[in-house]
């Protein structure tokens, strides 16, 4: 009888062991795409699209590379702003400065007459000055003398504010020089107002060599 109980207990233990073994064998393991490499899979990185700014912020460091031509503080010389209101002849004009009229004689040059006396190339000189200056804004520079014996202001006429005082600026912006360069005026010698005399004399030689204006073959010299 004891032997039968022993057989029964052993049978129960064997059945229990088999049940536990089957349970562990059927445990489901998670599946990974890279299980063969033995590495733990990393999570997929999601990149959010960068939003487009339809109204980009304007740069705060924008620099205006072209200073206003009306800013007299940029000038290397003392200038007075004026507006030309009337042309008398090639080297004599009227300007308005702060609502006051002034008669100006361009200093350092002499244009042929076109008033009481008519001289060769006087008409052309007067027309050139009229076309270039009438109703235009100009900048006046005084040399040494303020006025001549007739009460006219003696001035150099700048078409634009010079950035420096050199031949290029004088040649292209100083109207007194432009008249001489193109043969509409002679370079003069009028002490003590001699600031640009040497430039004007050189420009006159250029005009003579090129036979421009009053130096043309028709001139009586």
Catalytic residues: 105, 113, 152
Residue 198: both structure tokens together: 């040497």
SS3 93: strand
Q: How far apart are CA 87 and CA 109, in angstroms?
A: 16
Contacts of residue 184, defined as CB under 8 A and 6 or more positions apart, other chains included, come to 90, 111, 121, 124, 125, 128, 129, 213, 214
- Cis amide linkage into residue 192, ω under 30° from 0: yes
Q: How far apart are CA 174 and CA 159, in angstroms?
A: 6
Nearest to residue 138, comparing CAs of 83, 185, 191, 199?
Answer: 83
């Amino acid at each position: 009888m004891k032997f039968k109980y022993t057989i029964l207990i052993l049978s129960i233990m064997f059945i229990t062991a088999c049940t536990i073994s089957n349970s562990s064998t059927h445990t489901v393991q998670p599946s990974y795409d890279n299980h063969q490499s033995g590495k733990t899979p990393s999570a997929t990185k999601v990149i959010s699209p960068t939003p487009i700014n339809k109204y980009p912020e304007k740069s705060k460091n924008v620099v205006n590379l072209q200073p206003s031509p009306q800013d007299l503080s940029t000038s290397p010389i003392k200038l007075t702003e004026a507006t030309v209101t009337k042309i008398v002849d090639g080297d004599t004009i009227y300007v308005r400065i702060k609502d006051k009229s002034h008669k100006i004689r361009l200093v350092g040059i002499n244009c042929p007459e076109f008033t009481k006396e008519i001289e060769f190339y006087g008409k052309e000189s007067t027309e050139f000055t009229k076309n270039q200056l009438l109703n235009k804004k100009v900048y006046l520079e005084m040399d040494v003398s303020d006025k001549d014996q007739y009460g006219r202001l003696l001035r150099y006429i700048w078409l634009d504010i010079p950035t420096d005082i050199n031949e290029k600026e004088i040649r292209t912006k100083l109207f007194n020089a432009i008249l001489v360069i193109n043969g509409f005026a002679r370079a003069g010698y009028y002490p003590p107002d001699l600031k640009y005399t040497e430039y004007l004399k050189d420009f006159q030689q250029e005009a003579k060599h090129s036979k421009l204006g009053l130096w043309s073959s028709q001139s009586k010299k």
